[in-house]
């Protein structure tokens, strides 16, 4: 089975990677990341639905709002503790949000299936975001008494 096989990815995202590897060590952020993983998995599970399906539109709306809340929570925590890479994080968060809005505009009003490149982008972005960017703040926050 290829690493990028979608069923393997789904299994890893839901069952293994999150529990064992994706924890950034800050409980509130772990809980939010877990919700984001669940939303992206819901899209993956419904990949054959059209973008006009109620489920897909619901998940997109939920994801857009939840992502904004999550980024805001991270940025607030970073600001409160003078996290040195705050600027970088803000730039990454904005870039991702813009990309999602572009995906929505491109696909949401067309009666088409969710494109593979969007699903790939979402899951790879999420894993990259947590494993590479957010993992960096775990140790920093621990030093500042945030668990
Ligand atoms: Fe995050």
Instruction: Please tell me the distance between residue 121's alpha carbon and the centre of ligand 1 in angstroms.
Output: 16
How far is the C-alpha of 17 from the C-alpha of 144, rounded, in Å? 26
In a domain, 22, yes or no: yes
**How far is ligand 1, taken at its centre, from the CA of residue 47, in Å?**
24
**Does 1 map to a domain?**
no
Residue 104: both structure tokens together: 């929505």
In a domain, 18, yes or no: yes
Domain with 19 in it: 6-143
Report yes or no on 79 lying in a domain. yes
The CA 59 to ligand 1 mean position distance, Å, reads 18
Number of domains in the chain: 1
Question: Each residue of 89-136: pLDDT tens digit?
Answer: 999 999 988 888 887 777 766 667 777 777 788 878 888 888 788 888
Q: Which CATH number belongs to the domain containing residue 40 in this structure?
A: 1.20.120.50
Q: Long-range pairs for 6-12 at CB < 8 Å and ≥24 separation?
A: 6/44, 6/47, 6/119, 9/44, 9/123, 10/41, 10/44, 10/45
For the ranges 30-44, 71-85, 91-105, the one whose mean pLDDT is highest? 71-85
pLDDT at 91: 95
Specify if 24 maps to a domain.
yes
Looking at every residue in the chain, the average pLDDT score rounds to: 81
Predicted local distance difference test score (pLDDT) of residue 16: 42
The reply to whether 112 falls in a domain is yes
Residues surrounding ion ligand 1 at CB below 5 Å: 134
């Amino acid at each position: 089975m290829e690493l990028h096989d979608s069923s393997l990815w789904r299994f890893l995202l839901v069952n293994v990677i999150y529990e064992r590897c994706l924890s950034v060590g800050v409980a509130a952020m772990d809980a939010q990341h877990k919700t984001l993983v669940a939303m992206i998995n819901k899209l993956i599970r419904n990949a054959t639905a059209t973008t006009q399906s109620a489920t897909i539109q619901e998940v997109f709306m939920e994801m857009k709002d939840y992502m904004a809340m999550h980024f805001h929570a991270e940025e607030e925590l970073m600001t409160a503790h003078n996290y040195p890479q705050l600027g970088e994080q803000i730039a990454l968060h904005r870039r991702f949000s813009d990309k999602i809005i572009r995906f929505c505009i491109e696909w949401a009003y067309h009666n088409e299936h969710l494109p593979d490149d969007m699903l790939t982008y979402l899951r790879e972005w999420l894993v990259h975001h947590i494993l590479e960017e957010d993992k960096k703040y775990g140790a920093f926050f621990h030093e500042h008494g945030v668990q």
